[in-house]
Amino acid sequence: MASIRQRFWTLISLVTISGFSQGMLLPLLAVILEERGISSSINGLHATALYIGILISSPFMEKPLRKFGYKPIIMFGGALVLFSLFLFPLWQSLWFWFILRLTIGIGDQILHFGTQTWITASSDHQSRGRNIAYYGLFFSLGFTAGPLMTNLLSISIYVPFLLSAGLSLAVWLGLLWINNETPENDHTTIHNTSSIKRFKQAVSLGWVAFLPPLAYGFLEATLHGIFPVYGLRIGHNVNVLSFIIPCFAAASLLSQIPLGTLSDRIGRKKVILLAVSGGIAAFLFAALFERSAAMLFISFSIAGLFAGSLFSLGISYMTDLLPQELLPAGNILCGMAFSLGSIIGPFLSGAIIEWLPGLSFFYIIVALLFLVLVATAAVQGQKKSQAA
């Protein structure tokens, strides 16, 4: 059976392919629906299906994880994603695709919840930021490559979906060599505390740590799901957009590990404030020069260097603030915050560019990041607490 190190990299490989699938689906389906004359508001609403799946499945995963352990949960989530990817090209219906997106959202959340909790629970404080940074780094690596699959539509609509499904299957099979483990119960409150109470405790102790995942979800879904529509409308072509969009995730590959390591040294809050501030500056620049493809390449890259690490920084911050027994609940809430941002982003952005065509798409992102900046800066220093 696999060693702890091999297990870590198998989990990271799963996260990479999950990022690839998500990074492919958002712009790929946005372009297909735009070319078929679907309105931007409906396009944006359709993009939320994946994140609705994440949201509705989140509250129900803690008990199965404790009962069955990490490996079965992760394998089940991966199987849902695989099955759905194979079905996409078989019936090209708006509502059928919505259901498949919903199913992928459920599968991805199950997969990510299992991998996040396994990695955070098995990492000591000194290496936690770095390990979660690897998690974010390789998710971003997959997410960077995903949008490039849009170019394969010129060959056949089947190619991107089947390629993604095949890669997912290859990595999923690697789980067969991993030993199963279950979360530690020695100090948990699972027997004397209700799930609702644990969620309330986690929110009370660590709410500020859920803001970066929410902001990252908003960014990820909006940039991949609605920016292709907006970009087409302001004069950019599909091929150019397919290279601009990955710049955000690609640039984050360079900064995930340095920012995660820096947060281990100087504190999560300081690094989160730096990341959000850099994202605000980058998207203001994008709003001013949005009709220049070169300037958008630069803007997306700078934004990725800073804001592309918000999800992993938020998970590390949450793990610092919550006691061990609340980590499963905290990971669920990180996923829920991410999905809330991902649902709000495409729907709000799609509606605004339809109703207010004169307003730059990027000002919506700037407004959200500014709210996160103010809220995070206003919080006084917090220390890890013990659950009641």
> Would you state the pLDDT for residue 211?
95
> Would you state the pLDDT for residue 361?
86
What burial letters (b/e) apply to 167-206, b meaning 16+ CB within 10 Å? bbbebbebbeebeeeebeeeebbeeebeeeebbebbeebb
> Would you state the pLDDT for residue 125?
66
- The domain spans of the chain are 4-378
Instruction: Select 4-378's CATH number: 1.20.1250.20, 3.40.1260.10, 3.40.190.10, 3.10.20.30.
Output: 1.20.1250.20
Spatial CA neighbour of 347 closest among 32, 27, 43: 43
> Would you state the pLDDT for residue 383?
52
Local confidence pLDDT in tens for the 388 residues of the chain:
557 778 888 889 998 998 898 888 878 888 888 778 887 778 777 877 887 888 888 778 878 888 888 999 999 999 999 999 999 888 878 889 999 999 998 998 899 888 888 887 777 666 666 787 788 778 878 877 888 888 887 788 888 888 889 999 998 998 888 888 887 654 333 433 456 787 888 888 889 999 999 999 899 888 887 888 888 888 888 788 888 888 887 888 888 888 888 988 888 899 999 999 999 999 999 999 988 999 999 999 999 999 988 988 998 899 888 887 788 788 888 878 988 898 888 888 888 888 887 788 899 999 999 999 999 998 865 555 444 3
> Would you state the pLDDT for residue 79?
92
> Would you state the pLDDT for residue 189?
37
Residue type, 239: N
CB distance 315 to 116 below 8 Å: yes
Spatial CA neighbour of 227 closest among 12, 43, 10: 43
